[in-house]
Structure 1
Amino acid sequence: MPTFSANLGFLWQELSLPDAIRAAKAAGFDAVECHYPYDTPPEAVRRALEETGLPMLGLNTARGNVTAGENGLAAIPGREGEARRLIDQAIDYAAAIGARNVHVMAGKATGDEARAAFLGNLRYACERADRVGATVLIEPLNHRDAPDYFLRTADQALDIITAVGADNLKLMFDCYHIQIMQGDLTHRLREHLAAIGHIQIAAVPDRREPDHGEIDYRHILRFLGILGYDKPIGAEYRPATTTDAGLTWLQAYR
């Protein structure tokens, strides 16, 4: 039976992060994950996790100057110092709350210099994460939701992972993004399984609840079971109305 993680970057946004963790437990999720928790004291998050018994699967590095349109710094040449401060912040926060994964945001960039910057920052991140037993994730984002983002495809991510050569660097396989950019999800899941650290789902093309649209997630979940994938699947979607009103998919997919 598949298990699911509530992505609290999108779900229960009207609640504080500790209360969103409690809401996820009440709704029947098996784990939680988040985006940018840094405005919440880690002690409050840890208390909510201990109270509910839910694991926190991961969090993202901060994006930088969001007002200026930044979406991560790790692949931006010349900003390695800033990027590594954000990596340190994320890994320290993850360690404080017991999170397993840190997603390093690449940012808007292109070309060989950007790739070199990303490789260097990922090597730094992997070394830092290894000290606390954490995994570093990288995630391809689609060109509609994240224009000009450096990392676009699973193939590009696998090339980066191979080049870095760290055992604790994995692919965040977001079915929503990869369907838009490449499609052929079952083939890619099978071929890339050993490199995958986390899988996320949302409807395509509207990024709403994963019970409609062009991806048959019942098939995807059955296929993952055949492959032996047994980690919680991240529900990273934008609710059509309220989070609670849209949760009928959760029990149906079990």
Structure 2
Amino acid sequence: MFRRDFVKTAVSASAATLVSGVATANTTTPKAKNNFKLAYAPHFGMFQNSAGKDLIDQLKFMADNGFTALEDNGMMGRPVEIQTKIGETLAKLGMTMGVFVVDKGGNSQNTLAAGKQAHIDIFLDGCKRAVETAKRCNAKWMTVVPGDFERNLPIGIQTGHVIDALRRGADILAPHGLTMVLEPLSDSPNLFLQTSDQTYEICRGVNSPACKILFDIYHMQKTEGHIIPHIDWCWSEIGYFQIGDNPGRKEPTTGEINYKNVFKHIYTKMKANNQNFIFGMEHGNSKPGKEGEEALIKAYLESDSFTV
């Protein structure tokens, strides 16, 4: 599924479903059923069979089951009042907002690799609007995909164009303490950003705390494999992780990735470096209905049960 399709699906599934009310004024939340070592971030719709379609009820269900973060790719497409209510509810539940996607940029019609001013203007406008969205929902991270190759230009020229545009985007985000996370994807051979080492190179070129790597383990398993060494090589520029097993892009334990070992490795490095990351659950459920949602939670409990 392409990023733009994933965003469209996420928004359409729940755009009209918010909200009979927010959490009560009492900010003392009940003890969660599960105590995960890592900050896993579900998305809206992942537990709608158990929690219902109301977004606030879904957030409460996530918190009740030990999930301490949320990601919502389509946040920028939601009405302002819904963005605000989500942010307020996250704060009351003690949850952290993960990524949303900077919209209207980074697709085949608007690639930063082309170096065209019209494309850059669209991207920069997206960054400016992302600042306002982030304020409303208490976000720090937003996903950026630079778009497709501009195949009539040498790769070095394209890379320079991407770095130049991202520097200007970072200048917009940095004063607000925000970070765009660049995501290399496996969706199409036409995409400019493909591998973690290429993304590392670009982040070093941008040279800003407002530009880091979104290391999506699912995509990187498909594109390059060798997951733990690539995480180590890119560690200094990683700002965010996403999860999905391969093949299938479902929850951990449903594919070939040994997530228990991967999580243990990341957790150990985090503690050694006094760092924290959000782990976005950007995948589907392997089974339908409440049964599938229960299986998903069980899979995360199993993968999170590593010892250090």
Instruction: Verify same fold: TM over 0.5.
Output: yes
> Equivalents in 2 of 1:72, 1:239: separation in Å?
31
The Cα of 1:154 is off from its aligned counterpart by 0.6
Compute the TM-score of the two structures, normalised by the length of structure 1: 0.87
Give the AA of the match of 1:5: Y
The residue aligned with 1:129 is 173
Q: Please say if 1:50 is aligned against 2:91.
A: yes
The residue aligned with 2:280 is 234
Higher share of residues assigned helix: 2
Q: Secondary structure at the match of 2:96?
A: coil
- Greater RCO structure (CA 8 Å; 6+ sep): 1
Give the AA of the match of 2:257: I
> Equivalents in 2 of 1:146, 1:219: separation in Å?
28
The residue aligned with 1:83 is 123
Give the AA of the match of 1:187: P
Q: Please say if 1:27 is aligned against 2:76.
A: no
> Equivalents in 2 of 1:198, 1:172: separation in Å?
5
C-alpha spacing 1:184/1:115, structure 2 compared with 1 (3 Å): same
C-alpha spacing 1:19/1:146, structure 2 compared with 1 (3 Å): farther
1:190 to 212, 224, 232: 232
The residue aligned with 1:244 is 293
What is the percent sequence identity of the aligned residues?
A: 22
Tell me, yes or no, if the aligned pair for 1:126 and 1:135 is still in contact at 8 Å.
Answer: yes
Q: Secondary structure at the match of 1:172?
A: strand
* Higher mean displacement: 95-104 or 181-190: 95-104
> Equivalents in 2 of 1:100, 1:185: separation in Å?
25
| Structure 2: unaligned runs, 5 residues or longer | 1-35
C-alpha spacing 1:171/1:133, structure 2 compared with 1 (3 Å): same
Compute the TM-score of the two structures, normalised by the length of structure 2: 0.73
> Equivalents in 2 of 1:195, 1:29: separation in Å?
25
C-alpha spacing 1:40/1:53, structure 2 compared with 1 (3 Å): farther
The Cα of 1:116 is off from its aligned counterpart by 3.4
- Across the aligned residues of Structure 1 and Structure 2, the Cα RMSD in angstroms comes to 2.5
> Equivalents in 2 of 1:16, 1:123: separation in Å?
38
Tell me, yes or no, if the aligned pair for 2:103 and 2:126 is still in contact at 8 Å.
Answer: yes
Map 1:159-198 to 2 at 5 A. 159-198=201-240
Q: Provide Cα deviations, 1:108-133, integer angstroms capped at 9, x if missing partner.
A: 23345543332222112211111111
Tell me, yes or no, if the aligned pair for 2:215 and 2:241 is still in contact at 8 Å.
Answer: yes
The Cα of 1:97 is off from its aligned counterpart by 1.7
Tell me, yes or no, if the aligned pair for 2:38 and 2:267 is still in contact at 8 Å.
Answer: no
1:40 to 48, 67, 79: 79
- Larger-Rg structure: 2
C-alpha spacing 1:115/1:19, structure 2 compared with 1 (3 Å): farther
> Equivalents in 2 of 1:155, 1:251: separation in Å?
31
Tell me, yes or no, if the aligned pair for 2:194 and 2:223 is still in contact at 8 Å.
Answer: yes
The Cα of 1:136 is off from its aligned counterpart by 1.7
C-alpha spacing 1:70/1:63, structure 2 compared with 1 (3 Å): farther
The Cα of 1:157 is off from its aligned counterpart by 0.4
